Amino acid sequence: MCLDHVRAFNSRYNFFDGMTADEIHHAQRPLAGWERETRAFARAGGGDQGPRWSDFSDPLDAIGARFRRETAPERTDGKPLSGQDRASLKILGLAASADRSALRKRYSELVRRYHPDRNGGDRSHEDMLQKVIAAYQQLRQAPAFA
């Protein structure tokens, strides 16, 4: 709705239409609605329990896989890895603890494998080559590989 139609609608709307003066006064008092009991947001144990997986059989792990959080391994030197760093490491097939020399070595291996000049002119791997180059460029400037 445009602003003019909103204004026309609002001018005709009256929340208190059909109420007595006492009902209007009761609805407008400052603590209206706060007198009823509310439930606690968190339990004493520190939050809601997760679903009870033992209640049913999930042979394909379809439900459990959806709720499982996979955490990638951290670096042994304590340098932080962003999500983009982890994705780039996955593209290059490197572990999280790889150093700068392993990064350069793996990059050169993959460029030799996927570059059309090195694999007989096969251009079917160009998109993978672009991913490898982008991943290397990103990791080369990452704080973990500085």
Q: Which CATH number goes with the domain that contains 119?
A: 1.10.287.110
Quote the pLDDT of residue 5. 92
Query: 57 in a domain, yes or no?
Result: no
Quote the pLDDT of residue 122. 75
Residues sharing a CB contact under 8 Å with residue 48, sequence separation 6 or more, in sequence order: 42
Query: 51 in a domain, yes or no?
Result: no
Structure tokens at 122: 């096969």
Structure tokens at 11: 């001018």
Q: Over the stretch 107-124, which tens digit does the pLDDT of each residue have?
A: 999 988 888 887 777 778
Residues sharing a CB contact under 8 Å with residue 102, sequence separation 6 or more, in sequence order: 94
Q: Please give the tally of structural domains in the chain.
A: 1
Structure tokens at 25: 């006064």
**pTM, rounded to two decimals:** 0.50
Query: 68 in a domain, yes or no?
Result: no
Structure tokens at 76: 């042994």
HSE (side-chain half, CA atoms, 13 Å) at 99: 3
**DSSP secondary structure letter of residue 75:** P
Q: What percent of the chain clears pLDDT 90, i.e. is strictly above it?
A: 24
**Domain extent for 130:** 83-145
Residue with tokens 């209640």: 55
Query: 126 in a domain, yes or no?
Result: yes
Read off the pLDDT of each residue in 29-35 and give the average, rounded to a whole number: 78
Query: 116 in a domain, yes or no?
Result: yes
Query: 92 in a domain, yes or no?
Result: yes
Query: 108 in a domain, yes or no?
Result: yes
Rounded Cα gap, residues 18 and 14, in angstroms? 9
Query: 96 in a domain, yes or no?
Result: yes
Rounded Cα gap, residues 103 and 8, in angstroms? 66
| Under 8 Å between Cβ of 135 and 88 | yes
